[in-house]
Amino acid sequence: MPTTLVGIDVGGTFTDFALLEDGRLRVHKETTTPADQSQAILTGLTRMGILAAPEGHPTADAELAPHSDAPYSFAHGTTIATNALLERQGARTALLTTAGFVDVIEIGRQNRPHLYELHQRRPAPLTPPDLRFEAIERLDIHGAVLTPLDEKALYRTAAAIAAAEPESLAICFLFSFRNPRHEQRAARILRQACPRLPISLSSDILPEHREYERTATTVINAYLRPLVSRYLERLSDTLGAPIRVMQSNGGAMGTAQAAQEPARLVLSGPAGGVVGAFRLAQLAMASPPPSRALQGRAIQPVKEGQGARGRIITFDMGGTSTDVALCPHTIPRTTESEVAGLPLRLPIIDIHTVGAGGGSLARVDVGGGLRVGPESAGAVPGPVCYGRGGQQPTVTDANLALGRLDAGQFLGGSGALALDVTAAESALADLGARLGGLSVQEAALGVARVANATMERALRRVSVERGYDPRDFILVPFGGAGPLHACDLADALGVPYIFLPPAPGVLSALGLLIADVAHESSQTLLIEAEKLAARPSPLQEKIAALAERVQTVLTAEGISAPALEASLDIRYRGQSYELSVPLAHPATSAAVRQSIEAFHAAHAARYGYAMRDETVEIVTVRLRGAGPGVELHLTREALGPPDANRARVGTKPIWFRSDSPDESACYDRARLRPGHRFDGPAIIFQFDTTIIVAPGWAACVDERHNLWLARANG
């Protein structure tokens, strides 16, 4: 087993590193290199001493070589798949489908994203009309052959595909989720004609019903495959050590599987943050601080290893966007998602994203109103205060002008990135002039408040709009900018507690290390629930086949005995959506009936009613296999006296309102010890982020060096 584990999370502005070595955690941040993400990774690893640069080469040189005697293993969260979809920079992709169905990918669903817009604009398909090809074949709804695959015609089609010179191919035949033989035979023929052409089969990627979603998801996989494969191959060759990549569902997988199914990586980075936040909150709530340290308000302890009974809302604010997720006892997952206007039906953590981050650009719109985001300064040129050519003020510039960031303490005061306060204030002065003569601080407060409003809507979207009261949850802010805005958002939502682990600025990178190694597979059933409850053998056969498929993938990752969890997607007959509920093992008649009851309860909780007299249909069975990731053990230290003066490093004025600043205490988090307690307003410095304790909030440190913030009143 490797003794040194490195988590690498690529964000829009910074690439974060978390290194676990013999139980010790080291963190690092490097400016992201958008043109080639691997450059920032290699530079950061070199500066951490993990890679050695050949003599005569700069540290950012691509020819870096790892130490020969260092037993390293890497976990990686990447935005390369997401960016390729958003920017339409994937491969030139062809589609082969059943004759008569080549335009399914363009017709899609007749939804109206903008109800009152007369001329709806939808994103163009990833495959243009001249790269869509037909195969003469047809199956019925049960998978029986109506029209055999015309192989002679397919050989001619293969020649046409080769002549079109696509970089990747998606094959999606009608009802292939029932019977994959035609797709598999077509793939063999195409591989003979185009031996170097990557081919993605819908029966492998998504063996589920709904033709448009299955086609779109398979095309996404094909579209991403060449780009992701080249990136992972180049990174693997350079590092010369095992790499696991975070999937959108919160589980990790090896680079070989990731290269085959890159569609599973679309929310790779944000997923790591949710996993890390949930696991660290689990550990922390096993022994929360005493109520006297939290304004007299107690947190109910949770037994380790039994799951978090306390509920959290994760709030990940980076440089370009904010990702939020509500975790009611467990990490939420869904199979209904959309990326860049395209449906993606693979399992993902249920994360809601908005275009508000530290690099979000502030501007005045045509009506004279202040707008912030979704456009971002990104890593290049970055905020104005970075001094890299940025001219338009950002949220980071606003926080610096308000005193919520400190130029001398940024990135731990290392001097790796000097912040230009004068440049930020100048840009905000220009913005204030366009807003009717506002001062620098008034303009900066406006930028912060508009960004907060966007993020508050996102938090309400995953809580209030789904029937959850945010006052019953703990807010877990992370990312480089999350702890700066946490108190404002908690006040707006009425959240009583904020939880900050030791390194919140790189929590996504740490989450990559502790994530399970996982694989999920599914199969459509489309059968009445009572029929399956009376005779569960078809379900048992499907689960056995899925288990074999999952086991094969995980065995290649070194997981010999994965834990298996089954679930069913269930609906009332006539509905066009399903709810997923657990299925007990083994899948007996009693287990199926338990799932039916769980569905009624889930429907009542989600939609306010249940229809127990209606026919219930089981649509899809899912199986998730997982092997444990790194077991995280944080050192515990007995609580000491509450006086935190030894960690205090001065005071500074911070603007929380426009009339005057508040003189606020400054603390060095590295000096804070378990038991320390202090009241806001205050600012806490650490390498990976800056934490603001707003007026009316109190902070204390628990046994594991976690920081808890509590509101001074209800």
Domain locations in the chain as residue ranges: 85-112+122-229, 517-627
Is 404 a residue whose pLDDT tops 60? Answer: yes
- The three-state secondary structure class of 458 is helix
Tokens of 582: 């657990």
pLDDT in tens, 550-598: 999 999 888 888 999 999 999 999 998 899 999 998 999 999 999 999 9
User: With the C-alpha atoms ordered 497, 502, 507, 512, is the resulting torsion angle positive or negative?
Assistant: negative
Segment 42-65 mean pLDDT: 65
User: With the C-alpha atoms ordered 483, 514, 519, 88, is the resulting torsion angle positive or negative?
Assistant: positive
Nearest-CA neighbor of 395 among 380, 405, 407, 387?
Answer: 405
pLDDT of residue 55: 53
Is 463:469 a contact under the CB 8 Å cutoff?
A: yes
37-51, 252-266, 434-448: lowest mean pLDDT where? 37-51
604: enclosing H helix or E strand: helix 589-607
- Taking the C-alpha atoms of residue 666 and residue 682, their distance in angstroms, rounded to an integer, is 6
DSSP designation for 643? B
pLDDT of residue 299: 57
Nearest-CA neighbor of 620 among 101, 16, 207?
Answer: 207
- The three-state secondary structure class of 581 is strand
- The three-state secondary structure class of 578 is coil
Is 287:281 a contact under the CB 8 Å cutoff?
A: no
- Taking the C-alpha atoms of residue 655 and residue 657, their distance in angstroms, rounded to an integer, is 6
Banded model confidence at residue 524, pLDDT cuts 50, 70, 90: very high
Return the percentage of the chain with pLDDT > 90, whole number: 67
Is 376:320 a contact under the CB 8 Å cutoff?
A: yes
- Taking the C-alpha atoms of residue 431 and residue 387, their distance in angstroms, rounded to an integer, is 18
Banded model confidence at residue 373, pLDDT cuts 50, 70, 90: confident
- Taking the C-alpha atoms of residue 16 and residue 41, their distance in angstroms, rounded to an integer, is 9
pLDDT of residue 21: 79
Tokens of 87: 């920017």
* Dihedrals phi, psi of 336, to nearest 5 degrees: -115, 100
- The three-state secondary structure class of 666 is strand
90-104, 148-162, 271-285, 289-303: lowest mean pLDDT where? 289-303
Nearest-CA neighbor of 280 among 270, 268, 288?
Answer: 288
Tokens of 594: 């338990």
Segment 428-440 mean pLDDT: 95
- E runs forming strands in 173-319: 199-201, 243-246, 252-254, 312-317
Instruction: Provide, for the chain, the percentages of residues in helix, strand and coil under a 3-state DSSP scheme, each rounded to the nearest 5.
Output: 35, 25, 40
pLDDT in tens, 490-501: 999 999 999 999
Tokens of 205: 């990627």
pLDDT in tens, 230-261: 999 988 888 878 889 999 999 999 999 999 99
pLDDT in tens, 282-311: 888 876 776 655 655 555 554 443 333 458
Tokens of 654: 């911070």
**Beta-strand pair 199-201/474-478:** unpaired
- E runs forming strands in 140-268: 145-147, 168-172, 199-201, 243-246, 252-254
Buried b (16+ CB within 10 A) or exposed e, 226-257: bbbbebbeebbebbebbbbbbbbbbbbbbbeb
The C-alpha angle with vertex 106 and arms to 247 and 224, in degrees rounded to 5, equals 30
Is 548 a residue whose pLDDT tops 60? Answer: yes
Question: Higher-confidence residue: 299 or 218?
Answer: 218
Buried b (16+ CB within 10 A) or exposed e, 420-436: beebbbbbbbebbeebe
- Taking the C-alpha atoms of residue 689 and residue 27, their distance in angstroms, rounded to an integer, is 11
**Beta-strand pair 690-693/682-685:** antiparallel
Cβ-based burial of 483 (10 A; exposed 0-12, middle 13-18, buried ≥19): buried
* Dihedrals phi, psi of 678, to nearest 5 degrees: -160, 160
pLDDT in tens, 317-368: 988 889 999 998 889 888 888 887 889 999 999 999 888 999 999 999 989 9
pLDDT of residue 340: 78
Nearest-CA neighbor of 608 among 424, 467, 452?
Answer: 467
Tokens of 339: 């990326």
What CATH number labels 85-112+122-229? 3.40.50
pLDDT of residue 3: 67
Segment 177-198 mean pLDDT: 95
Cβ-based burial of 30 (10 A; exposed 0-12, middle 13-18, buried ≥19): buried
Round the average pLDDT of the chain to a whole number and report it. Answer: 89
- Taking the C-alpha atoms of residue 653 and residue 402, their distance in angstroms, rounded to an integer, is 8
DSSP designation for 485? H
Segment 391-420 mean pLDDT: 88
The C-alpha angle with vertex 166 and arms to 165 and 171, in degrees rounded to 5, equals 130
